[in-house]
Amino acid sequence: MELTRENFKQEVATFKAGFKEDAFSIAEKSLTLEKKGNIGVISFDQYQEKANKLSTPNMLRLFELCLQIEQDKSIEAVVVISRKPTIFIAGADISEIQRLARGEATTESLMKLQAVFTFLESLSIPVIAAIHGACMGGGTELALACDYRMASDGPETKIALPEVLLGVLPGWGGTQRMPRLVGLEKSLDLILTGKSLDGKRAKKIGLVDKVVPVEFLEEKALAWAQDLARTKKKRSYETPLKDRLLESVPGGKWVIFDQAKKQVMKQTKGNYPAPLRIIETLRKTYGGDLEKGLKVEAKAFTDLVVTPESQCLIGIFYLQEKVKKDKGVEGKIAGKDIKRAGVVGAGVMGGGIAQLFAAKGTRVRMKDIQWDAVAKGYKAAHKIFQKLVDKKRMKPNELANAMERIEGSVDYSGFSHLDLVVEAVVESLEIKKKIFQELGEKVSSETILATNTSSLSISEIAKATKDPKRVVGMHFFNPVDKMPLVEVIRGRETSDEAVATVFQYAKKVGKTPIVVKDAPGFVVNRILGPYLNEAVYLLLEGVSPTRMDSVMEKFGMPMGPITLLDEVGLDVASKVSHVLHQAFGERMKPPSVIDLVAKEGRLGKKSGKGIYLHSNGKREEDSDILNKMGVKAVKEISDDEIIKRLTYVMVNEAARIVDEGLVRDVSDIDIGMIFGTGFAPFRGGLLRYADKVGPEVIVSELDILNKTLGERFQPCQYLQQLSIDGKKFYQEAKAT
């Protein structure tokens, strides 16, 4: 049954049952209609909250306002505007989507909410969406249901349909009205990537009609409404000429869909149902009847929202939200503001860190021993900025501003007034200790001293200074500008202030931090250790690198383990694996062949030769590699076994990390693995995946591997206990 003018009151009563008592009175306060002469202004100002969200009560309230507008003949045009400073509408209420995911969603109930926008669209007077700030998902769909759209020129204005990132699709007409407005190709791009457009870019593709200064948004919208009221001009959809031409070519549409699908398959290996369903939905409905299209869309949404992939992606969304609110420490300690930073070591990591800091407005003094090294750091930073300029993501003067934020030096001059110093030299405890001792003498008593070590003990490094409280780990991943994770390492003596400062600053420069206690390899490298070792063992048993990589890519890793080894560098991997072996004993013992390869100068991608052969950015399998590594017999190993061996050793190690209390929450491991290694997001992270498989299954598999292949598979105590108790890593899943 549809939502109609007639049954509205009754429907509200039905809906009410599912919501808090005051939900509807709050909606009345949040969405209001005000008359400015002959113009009706719908103001959205979510009561006592920062963000405007299209919850069900708000949607019904909007319907009610449309009813009022329809009845009030003195209203000749409508403007929809937000009263929040940086948000138009942040989208639907994701907690409601989660409820839908529990099977409460039906195509019918969704269509009732679709009807709200259909009603808005069908009003006989012109309606303008005046957009400033984040306009996400449902917000964009609301704007699409208006006749006209006006956007502010502020950088806060971001218009997107990001539903795909949560494993679903726009369910309130987005898949229908977007293509009608901007054509098929651009719609697919927007809906499949979830990317956001600022006002200028939105106007360029025809998504908005006008871009105006934010300060005059309301005035301009009212004036425009006045004009439209006079002419009584409703919008008629007109697909842009270029798109009409392209689509009118016989098979043209088919080619577009086909291309889109190929692209999706290449990027997702078919692991994500949402993008495929989006393509299918558009293919079925494009150019057809709106009402029918909406129904197909609603069905697709309700199917997708219950998929485990969507639930995992929504779970990750919540993890990110949690990080946003997190301060890295308990209690009220606030991190200090970082205006000036130092970086010691201008290598790949140091240069990358300097670039990142400079890009975010921090001044950086970059020190190395030799000017040649400093020059390389500059060059690396410049290359990244230049790329942004080439892509028109940065203006040339901004590049000059950013580059001038980086200062080069071969001594510690200028280090006495820095807020933060990040050391990023070679992984040698001796050298790092020397540097921290020097730094300790040089910097002010306020400076936070961070190390980017990937494997050494923070507490040990801190001993070299007089004030170990200010020493903390700040572990970035390579390449720094792209990898979102930062492990913030708390040494034995590290102060809350140091942790909070680095945690907060990592967020400020756009990274996702997790706090880890000081232990070898921290989270990501420690979990990757046995994974990469196992990959080499599999090689030695005759599994070809290409096959192993493709199996793991299909599993959902962004790159397979052998490619990862070559990217990281076999020398680096070998060094880390020895540190881990030393720390954790036999189970982490690296296969000796890895040293051999590194010693032969097969260092990985950087030397042109690793396990693969690399040239001109392409990799090729060395047909003789297995031979060279001394593989004698080739064993039959199934894809499934490859996955099990590679992933269960990771789960086992992660369980130890949880058991040792190194992370504050099990979810930190998932954040670490997803943002540090790209571990299959649609699986929700390593431990979500483990929970889905079931600890008891993993333990029994590990037991078998333990007996057949060696003790490195011995399931740890914690994992065994979970199995015995029938528990999962995420306990709260049981409680609710």
Binding another protein by CB under 8 A: which of 409, 437, 607, 720?
409
Measured CA to CA, the distance from residue 359 to residue 454 in angstroms comes to: 23
Report whether 73 contacts 38 (CB < 8 A): no
> For 345-397, where are the E strands, in sequence order?
363-367
Backbone angles phi, psi at 426, to 5 degrees: -60, 155
Catalytic residue among 132, 382, 417, 475, which? 475
Binding another protein by CB under 8 A: which of 379, 387, 393, 434?
379
- DSSP strand pairing (471-476 vs 512-517): unpaired
CA distances from 75 to 37, 70, 78, 419, 594 (A): 8, 8, 7, 58, 76
387 scored as a contact of another protein (CB under 8 A): no
Q: Smallest distance from the beta carbon of 366 to another protein, in angstroms?
A: 10
Closest to another protein by CB, 367 vs 526, is 367
Report whether 729 contacts 666 (CB < 8 A): yes
Q: Smallest distance from the beta carbon of 408 to another protein, in angstroms?
A: 5
407 scored as a contact of another protein (CB under 8 A): yes
Binding another protein by CB under 8 A: which of 51, 205, 306, 375?
375
DSSP class of 335: P
Dihedral sign (CA 574, 577, 581, 583): positive
446 scored as a contact of another protein (CB under 8 A): no
Angle 74-80-85 (CA atoms, 0-180°, nearest 5)? 140
Closest to another protein by CB, 407 vs 668, is 407
Measured CA to CA, the distance from residue 220 to residue 130 in angstroms comes to: 9
Closest to another protein by CB, 390 vs 732, is 390
Pick from 404, 409, 403, 418: which is nearest to 341 by CA?
418
Q: Smallest distance from the beta carbon of 510 to another protein, in angstroms?
A: 21
- The size of the interface with another protein (CB under 8 A), counted in residues, is 24
Closest to another protein by CB, 401 vs 437, is 401
Please give the full DSSP string across 609-646, using - where no structure is assigned: BSSEEEETTEEEE-TTHHHHTT--------HHHHHHHH
Binding another protein by CB under 8 A: which of 63, 119, 286, 378?
378
Binding another protein by CB under 8 A: which of 51, 265, 290, 403?
403
Q: Smallest distance from the beta carbon of 725 to another protein, in angstroms?
A: 57
Q: Smallest distance from the beta carbon of 347 to another protein, in angstroms?
A: 15
Closest to another protein by CB, 144 vs 374, is 374
401 scored as a contact of another protein (CB under 8 A): yes
Binding another protein by CB under 8 A: which of 145, 304, 329, 374?
374
Q: Smallest distance from the beta carbon of 334 to another protein, in angstroms?
A: 20
417 scored as a contact of another protein (CB under 8 A): yes
Residue that the structure tokens 């009563």 belong to:
13
Report whether 377 contacts 366 (CB < 8 A): yes
Pick from 121, 445, 450, 424: which is nearest to 290 by CA?
121
For this structure, is 417 an active site residue? no
Report whether 440 contacts 449 (CB < 8 A): yes
Binding another protein by CB under 8 A: which of 7, 68, 416, 700?
416
2 scored as a contact of another protein (CB under 8 A): no
Binding another protein by CB under 8 A: which of 99, 382, 469, 554?
382
Pick from 209, 182, 211: which is nearest to 199 by CA?
211
Binding another protein by CB under 8 A: which of 206, 252, 347, 408?
408
Q: Smallest distance from the beta carbon of 339 to another protein, in angstroms?
A: 9
Which residues ranging from 652 to 671 are in contact with another protein (CB under 8 A)? none
Which residues ranging from 303 to 342 are in contact with another protein (CB under 8 A)? 340
Q: Smallest distance from the beta carbon of 352 to another protein, in angstroms?
A: 15
348 scored as a contact of another protein (CB under 8 A): no
CA dihedral 718, 320, 479, 358 (to 10 degrees): -130
Closest to another protein by CB, 286 vs 415, is 415
405 scored as a contact of another protein (CB under 8 A): yes
Closest to another protein by CB, 376 vs 433, is 376
414 scored as a contact of another protein (CB under 8 A): yes
Ranges of H-type helices in 56-173: 56-71, 94-99, 107-122, 138-145
Binding another protein by CB under 8 A: which of 122, 413, 582, 592?
413
Pick from 553, 586, 568, 567: which is nearest to 679 by CA?
553
Q: Which stretch binds another protein (CB under 8 A): 378-386, 454-462, 517-525, 654-662?
A: 378-386
395 scored as a contact of another protein (CB under 8 A): no
Angle 243-245-250 (CA atoms, 0-180°, nearest 5)? 110
Q: How far apart are the first and last CA of the chain?
A: 32
Q: Smallest distance from the beta carbon of 400 to another protein, in angstroms?
A: 7
Ranges of H-type helices in 240-347: 241-248, 252-268, 273-285, 290-305, 308-325
Cα atoms in the 13 Å half-sphere on the side-chain side of 662:
25
Measured CA to CA, the distance from residue 215 to residue 717 in angstroms comes to: 62
Q: Smallest distance from the beta carbon of 474 to another protein, in angstroms?
A: 22
Closest to another protein by CB, 340 vs 683, is 340
253 scored as a contact of another protein (CB under 8 A): no
Q: Smallest distance from the beta carbon of 403 to another protein, in angstroms?
A: 8
Which residues ranging from 483 to 542 are in contact with another protein (CB under 8 A)? none
Report whether 514 contacts 677 (CB < 8 A): no
Q: Smallest distance from the beta carbon of 407 to another protein, in angstroms?
A: 5
Q: Which stretch binds another protein (CB under 8 A): 170-178, 204-212, 405-413, 620-628?
A: 405-413
Closest to another protein by CB, 158 vs 405, is 405
Report whether 518 contacts 458 (CB < 8 A): yes
Q: Which stretch binds another protein (CB under 8 A): 163-171, 374-382, 445-453, 680-688?
A: 374-382
Angle 30-33-39 (CA atoms, 0-180°, nearest 5)? 145
Binding another protein by CB under 8 A: which of 53, 336, 363, 602?
363
Q: Which stretch binds another protein (CB under 8 A): 238-246, 294-302, 398-406, 716-724?
A: 398-406
What would the x/- binding string for another protein be over residues 451 to 490, using CB under 8 A? ----------------------------------------
> 3-class secondary structure for 546-591?
HHHHHHHHHHCCCCCHHHHHHHHCHHHHHHHHHHHHHHHCHHHCCC
Closest to another protein by CB, 347 vs 414, is 414
23 scored as a contact of another protein (CB under 8 A): no
Q: Smallest distance from the beta carbon of 462 to another protein, in angstroms?
A: 24
Ranges of H-type helices in 391-495: 396-404, 429-442, 458-462
Q: Which stretch binds another protein (CB under 8 A): 181-189, 302-310, 325-333, 412-420?
A: 412-420
- Interacting residues of 270 by C-beta distance below 8 A, sequence separation 6+: 276
- Interacting residues of 625 by C-beta distance below 8 A, sequence separation 6+: 539, 545, 611, 612
- Interacting residues of 352 by C-beta distance below 8 A, sequence separation 6+: 380, 381, 476, 478, 479, 480, 481
Catalytic residues: 475
What residue ranges bind another protein (CB under 8 A)?
Answer: 340, 363, 365, 371-372, 374-376, 378-379, 382, 400-401, 403-405, 407-410, 413-414, 416-417
